[in-house]
Amino acid sequence: MKERRKMNRLGQGVVHEVPRIGSDGESEEASGASDEVTSPVNVKLRQKNRRITQEDINKRLSLPADLRVPDAFLQKQTISSEGPLSRSSRRQSLSEIGFGRMETYTKLDKLGEGTYATVYKGRSRLTENLVALKEIRLEHEEGAPCTAIREVSLLKELKHANIVTLHDIVHTDKSLTLVFEYLDRDLKQYMDECGAQLSMNNVKIFLFQLLRGLAYCHQRRVLHRDLKPQNLLINEKGELKLADFGLARAKSVPTKTYSNEVVTLWYRPPDVLLGSTEYSTQIDMWGVGCIMYEMISGRPLFPGATVEDELHLIFRTLGTPTESTWPGISTNEDFAQYPFSTYTGESLLTKAPRLAHDSGLGLLSKFLLYEAKKRISAATALKHPFFESLGHTVHTLKDQDSIFSCPGLMLTRDHNHKVTNGGQAKTRRQSMHF
């Protein structure tokens, strides 16, 4: 019941089927707005006799330009010179257009199924665009899973070109459906299609976009906590977007209350592997380093099967930590329980020679530091010389600008890249779906 009550506060700018839940996530009573609305849109026009257009409605309700307002809705609207819409008026208008209604979306293919959710490829009848429908089953006793509540509450606040867009929410007694923009592959699938041979230009473009999205999140004190190639979605333009915020957390100050059972094992930093729950934005930066290495080398850096195996691979590669490389490690109880050998470390250049290009090794080393607080931040990493070849314009982009709006910037056709058809795309491995 607690989770169900939380859901009633979520969903900025979307409409639920439950009448008492508003588009801004507040109840009708809480919003203080009356439901007695005869002309909800109240388009403000100077020429009183001019016909109301779809452009007028889209602008008034802050809707996408490609959204097609139903003719029946358009004909009902009247001209008014009144001020801003009340929450209740906007909710009513959005509901009449079709937001918050499952019939607005057509299911096409089933993409995957997990413990709590099933994900479908779908199509919006309002825009004719493809969407991803994440249908979360609701248990009457338990309500919505906490991961779904986190995902909705965070995504409604995060508006960035490199973060997946949450278009709509459909809330019924049996399910909660999150309607996302559709991206046809993830980074893991993209690397598989390329035969693990990404050009350095594409590595830089993907890594820069990942850091842009993370810097935006971290600036707003949001930790992703589950970075991995399967949670980085890519569209046909090459735009990369962070997805699956189910494990993400908003933070105000570093705290000891977070779980250490976060981040898929291969991308989990050693401090978390050794039981630390006192972490901040640095938890994401270790994963960025692992993903950077995987794009450059074509294989995972630390593919451990267990926590002990994962730590063993890390220490063998980077050297067994000491007090000089990781202050306090000698008194860590979790570290003491494992019989680790003393390793001096291996050369990452030997394992991935392309790291020698454009200071790549220097940047990677700053991600993979044992002492969490010394890891480079996402915002600082964006300014690293590794990205100089992308030009200076990438540093002037606004939050919702695509990196490809920069003149001359484009993906290189990767060697052995295979274009998947619709049938193959269904097999993509995206944990965001579940």
Binding site membership for ATP: which residues? 134
Binding residues: 134
Q: Could you tell me whether strands 175-181 and 185-186 are parallel, antiparallel, or unpaired per DSSP bridges? A: unpaired
The two three-digit tokens of residue 259, written as one number: 């779980």
**Beta strands across the sheet bearing 130-137:** 105-113, 117-124, 130-137, 175-181, 166-171
The two three-digit tokens of residue 181, written as one number: 């923009």
Q: Please state the length of the chain.
A: 434
**Active site includes 184?**
no
Tokens 């506060």 belong to 9
Beta bridge partners of 168: 179
* Residue at 135: amino acid letter: E
SS3 content of the chain, % helix, strand, coil (to 5): 40, 15, 50
The kind and range of the H/E element at 271 are helix 270-273
The residue among 414, 384, 390 whose CA lies nearest residue 404 is 390
The residue among 406, 289, 399, 404 whose CA lies nearest residue 352 is 289
SS3 344: coil
The kind and range of the H/E element at 186 are strand 185-186
Q: Could you tell me whether strands 249-250 and 222-223 are parallel, antiparallel, or unpaired per DSSP bridges? A: antiparallel
Q: What is the DSSP letter of 358?
A: G
Give every CB contact of residue 337 below 8 A, 6+ residues apart in sequence.
Answer: none
Q: Out of 56, 226, 244, 271, which one is annotated catalytic? A: 226
Q: Which residues are known catalytic residues? A: 226
